Amino acid sequence: MQKRMRLQYSFLLLMLIFTATAFAQNTSTEWTPEQQAELFGYCEKPFLIKQLKISEANADKIGQINNWARLTKIKIQANTSDTFATDGEVEEAVIKKYKALSLSGDQLKTLTDRRKQSLTQPCALITLTANKTYDTIAKPQLQLLFRNKFRRTLMDKLEVNGKQADMLIEAEVWKQKEALEIIKIPETDFNRIRKTVAMYTDLERKYGFIGITEQQKEGAKNIFKAAE
């Protein structure tokens, strides 16, 4: 009887270990080098080149450094790193590698600040959020619901006209429905990221037809986001 109980206990323990491992693998997907380079091109490279005026060659080197840090931290989690024991040590090494690129003082400061921010705030262009309660509402009804809820607020707070408010609502409803389809794709499938980027790109194109300022566009995003 005791032997049987020990066997049952061992089996349950193994199941718990397997479940925890599977969960850990799902939350830290290891993309291929090509996919990681594509991801860097979506999120960081345009900022480095356009905002910080960093050369494309150095931007690519920064991408390689960031990927090295990501892979090294995965090794630390798996207890297979021979060089680093903590994430903090990796971040110190990252800063040293940045400094070796001969960047200006302002470029280095902005880059390191952005690095710290990116560790806690994911890239907005690949961040997918979807309100599942909207999945059961047909698009025309959802648009009417948004119109009743947001039209007056958009007009008053952003100083847009009725047609512009309607176009903003139409764009947001489209985005919500697109997100509900994309979220069905497993997180381990890189196409989920590609489709998310395409969704936001199309959303920006829709905003371009409305005839509003950048400040009004960001204001509309904030109004919709606050209601999620």
User: 17 Cβ partners below 8 Å, 6+ apart?
Assistant: none
Rounded to an integer, what distance in angstroms lies between the CA atom of residue 171 and that of residue 154? 13
Residue carrying structure tokens 């939350």: 27
Centroid of chain to Cα 86: 24
Q: What is the pLDDT of residues 78-101, one digit of tens each?
A: 899 888 999 999 999 999 999 999
The DSSP code for 161 is: -
Residue spans of the domains in the chain: they are 1-29, 31-121, 132-226
Write the single-letter amino acid at 51.
Answer: Q
Rounded to an integer, what distance in angstroms lies between the CA atom of residue 217 and that of residue 203? 11
> What sections of the chain are H helices per DSSP?
2-26, 33-43, 45-50, 56-77, 87-99, 105-118, 139-158, 162-182, 190-208, 214-226
Token representation of residue 135: 């999945």
Which of 184, 210, 208, 214 has its CA nearest to residue 196?
Answer: 184
> What pLDDT, on the 0 to 100 scale, is given for residue 226?
87
Please give the model's pTM, rounded to 2 decimal places. Answer: 0.73
> What pLDDT, on the 0 to 100 scale, is given for residue 185?
96
Q: What is the pLDDT of residues 21-77, one digit of tens each?
A: 222 223 357 788 889 889 889 988 998 999 899 999 999 999 999 889 988 998 998
Rounded to an integer, what distance in angstroms lies between the CA atom of residue 18 and that of residue 220? 45
Helix axes 162-182, 214-226, angle to 10 degrees: 60
Q: What is the pLDDT of residues 8-23, one digit of tens each?
A: 433 333 333 333 222 2
CB atoms within 10 A of CB 172: 23
pLDDT(103) > 70: yes
- Given a contact cutoff of 8 angstroms between Cβ atoms, the answer to whether 173 and 143 are in contact is yes
> What pLDDT, on the 0 to 100 scale, is given for residue 36?
85
pLDDT bracket for residue 176 (50, 70, 90): very high
User: 129 Cβ partners below 8 Å, 6+ apart?
Assistant: 179, 228
pLDDT(210) > 90: yes
